[in-house]
Amino acid sequence: MSYQPSKERYQHMEYRRCGHSGLKLSAFSLGLWHNFGHVNNYENSRQLIHTAFDAGITHFDLANNYGPPPGSAEENFGKILKQDLQDYRDELIISSKAGYTMWEGPYGDWGSKKYLVSSLDQSLRRMQLEYVDIFYHHRPDPETPLEETMSALDLIVRQGKALYVGVSNYRPAEAAKAFAILKQLGTPCIIHQPKYSMFERWVEDGLLDLLEKEGVGCIPFSPLAQGLLTDKYLHGIPADSRVATSGIFLKESHITPERIEKISKLNAIAQQRGQKLAQMALAWLLQNKRVTSVLIGASKPEQITDSIQALSNTSFSEAELAAIETILQTPGA
C-alpha cells in the first residue's frame, strides 16, 4: 500500500526561523546517524521517516558517512524518498555533511575543496537528488586553510547543489572566522550543528552568544547524551541498549554511580512536570530561543512520537531551572 502523509501534519509541530535566514525548521529534526544503514531493517527505517513526516518533522539530517556501511543511510533515504515522498520534495529540508573519513586516500577526509565537492556529488547520486537544502562542513580541518573550505561551500551553492550552508563541531573562534569568510563571499552560514545537552554544555561558553549575534541558527545533536538522559539506565544496562549492543560512542564506563544519581534526580523533576526524563531534556534545550531545532534519533517509530510530546511543555519555572542546574553542577560525574 502506498504511503499517504497525514493531512494534519502541520497542525501540531512548531516551526522556528533559522537565524536571520528565510528558512524555518521544525522544532524537531530527524537525524539518520543510526538505524538507517544497510545493516538495519529497511521497512523499519521507512516507518521512522513516515512517522516523522506525519508529525510535521520536515527536516531530515544525513552525512556522507552515515550507515553502516558509510553511504548506506543516504542510499536508503534516497529509496524511501523515491518510493514515498517524491511528490513532497518541496516540503522537505534535506541536509548532508562531509568532513569525516569517507573513502581511502588523501582526498576522502577533512576539508579540502576536492573532498567537499566530490563528497556532495556522491551524496546527491546516493539520494537521487539534484540538490540538498543544507550542506555542512562536518568538522574543522586543522591543515586546510579555512578560506579554501569556506570557498568550497560557496562554490557548492553557486553550482546549485545546495541552497544553504552550515558548519558542525566548530568552536567559537573557528566559527567566527568561518562566518566572516562566508559573509564576505556572499553565501552566509545559516546554521551550526554542535553537540549540546544537559550533560554537554560547551556551547554556552561563547558559541550561543556568537550565533545570536551573527544571526546563525543552532541545531544540537546528541540531545539525550546517547540515551543517558532517559530513564533507560536507571536500573542497570538493558540488553538492547546502545551500550550493550555497540559501546562505541557510549561506553559502560560512562554510566557511573554518580551519573546515575544525577539522572535519578533529574528524572524526579521530570515526573513532577508530568514528563519523561527524555522529554524534559529535549524541552530544556527548546526553552532556549537561540535553539532552532533539536536533532533526535530513533530506532522505533514510537520514540519519535514520544519525543515530540516534549513540545507540550517547554517552559520552566525559575525554581525548576535552578534545581536542574544544582544537579548538573554537582561534582563527581
How far apart are the C-alpha atoms of 142 and 84, rounded to whole Å?
41
Check residue 239 and give its pLDDT: 53
How far apart are the C-alpha atoms of 214 and 231, rounded to whole Å?
37
Q: For the segment 135-170, what is each residue's pLDDT rounded down to a tens digit?
A: 999 999 999 999 999 999 999 999 999 999 999 999
Is residue 241 very low, low, confident or very high in pLDDT (cuts 50, 70, 90)? low
How far apart are the C-alpha atoms of 170 and 155, rounded to whole Å?
20
Contacts of 33 (CB under 8 A, 6+ apart): 63, 66, 73, 221, 297
Is residue 244 very low, low, confident or very high in pLDDT (cuts 50, 70, 90)? very low
Check residue 114 and give its pLDDT: 98
pTM: 0.94
Domains and CATH numbers, the chain: 15-225+277-311 (3.20.20.100)
Give the range among 59-63, 231-235, 304-308 with minimum mean pLDDT. 231-235
- Is the omega angle on the peptide bond into residue 142 within 30 degrees of 0, that is, cis? no
Check residue 252 and give its pLDDT: 62
- The whole-chain average pLDDT of the chain stands at 94
What is 255-281 written as a DSSP string? --HHHHHHHHHHHHHHHHTT--HHHHH
Is residue 232 very low, low, confident or very high in pLDDT (cuts 50, 70, 90)? confident
Q: Counting beta carbons within 10 angstroms of the beta carbon of residue 97, is it exposed (0 to 12), middle (13 to 18) or buried (19 or more)?
A: buried
Residue with the three cell numbers 513526516: 53
Q: Counting beta carbons within 10 angstroms of the beta carbon of residue 119, is it exposed (0 to 12), middle (13 to 18) or buried (19 or more)?
A: buried
Q: What angle do CA 31, 230, 252 make, to 5 degrees?
A: 90
